[in-house]
Amino acid sequence: MNASGTQEVWIDDGAAGSRLDLFLARHPTPAKTLGATFSRSEIQRLIDEGQITLNGARTKASTRIKEHDRIDIRLLPPRDAEVGAEALPLAILYEDADCIVLNKAPGITVHPAAGHWSGTLVNALLHHCPEMDGIGGIRRPGIVHRLDKDTSGVMIVAKNMAAYHNLVLQFKNRTVEKEYIAIAWGNVIGDKGVIDRPIGRHRSDRKKMSSVFFSKGAREALTDWAVEERFALASTNGASCFMTLLRVRPRTGRTHQIRVHLADCGHPLLGDSMYGKKRNHSARWLESGDPRIQLLSRQALHAEKLTIKHLRTGQPIRFTAPLPEDLVALRDYLRRKRNGPAE
C-alpha cells in the first residue's frame, strides 16, 4: 500500500493482454484487496467510478493491460458478505407461504451492490421475512426479476427455494405476462405495434444498453406496445409538443428493455435521464420549460400488471399495482392541458 492509501498492482508479461476487469476478478492480489465477494460487474462499476485507475488515470473495464502497467486500487472498508435486515416500509399487494408481491416505489434500488449496501428492497424484505435469507443468493435473496431504481410497480419475490425455482422457470419460459404504463415523448404513429430489435451493451458507454450501437452479444428483445392516449401542448417557442401514453408488454426481459426500445425508436420516456438526453429531438419534443413536466424526477414508467401461474394450483393469477401519485398527477395535468388553456 502506498502513502495515498491505495494498493498498487504491477503487470508482468504473463498478464499482459488481459482485459482489466477480468484480471482484477481473477488475479489473487487484487482479489485480496477488493474482497472475494466482489463480482466482475461490481469491479467494472469501481473502474467506472474511478476507484480503480490505470497508470494514474481513469480508464475502461475493457482496456487491455500491458507489461509494466500500474493498477491503483483504492482500498475499500471491509464489509460483511451478508446483507443486513432493515425496518423499511413495504407496500405489499399479496403474500402467502411462497411469495410476496410488492408495489415498488420509485427511487428504491432492488438489491445491494458496490457502494449501495443499505436502504434497498432486499434489506426491507429480510426484515419482513428473515427466512428468505440466502434463497437464490446472498445479495439477491428471493429476487427472480427486477425493476430499475426509478421504475415503480409490481414485483414478485420468492419466499422459499421451491418457489424461487418455479418463478425463475416461468420467467425463463416467457409464460409471465407483464404490462407497463409509459409516457413517451412524441406522437407515436399508429395504434399498436411490436418493436423487434436485439439489445446489447452499448459499445462506448457500458452503463447503457442499446438496440443500435451495441457491442457483440446482443440478445433478442421484443416489446409490444399500444397507444392509450395522446397529448399536445404548446412549447415555449410556440410549436406543438406531443406526448403519448402507452401500454407496453415486453415479451423478453432485457436490461432497460422498454426504455431502450422506445428511445431508439425516437420516443424516449419523459424524465429518462439516461436515454432521453443528448438526442437530436425537434423543438416540439423538447421539455419546453413546462414546470410540471420538469418536476418529474424519474422516467415515466410503471409496471402495472404481472400475471403468473399460481405456484401451487398452476392457475393464472394477476396482480395489479395502481399508478403512483406522480404519474397520476402528470397524466391528469396533460389531459387538462390537452382539453383546456395552459395553467
Q: Cα–chain-centroid distance for residue 314? A: 29
148 a catalytic residue: yes
Query: 36, 76 in Cβ contact below 8 A?
Result: no
Q: Using CB atoms within 10 A of its CB, is residue 78 exposed (0-12), middle (13-18) or buried (19+)? A: exposed
List the grid coordinates of 60: 475502461
Residues sharing a CB contact under 8 Å with residue 172, sequence separation 6 or more, in sequence order = none
Query: 280, 293 in Cβ contact below 8 A?
Result: no
Q: Which amino acid is at 319?
A: F
Of the residues 21, 69, 148, 264, only one is catalytic, namely: 148
Looking at the DSSP bridge assignments, the partners of residue 177 are 307
Query: 105, 164 in Cβ contact below 8 A?
Result: no
Q: Using CB atoms within 10 A of its CB, is residue 318 exposed (0-12), middle (13-18) or buried (19+)? A: exposed
For residue 339, report the phi and psi dihedrals to the nearest 5 degrees.
Answer: -100, -5
Distance CA 67, CA 55 (A): 12
Q: Cα–chain-centroid distance for residue 130? A: 25
Distance CA 288, CA 10 (A): 52
Q: What is the DSSP letter of 90?
A: -
The residues carrying an active-site annotation are: 148
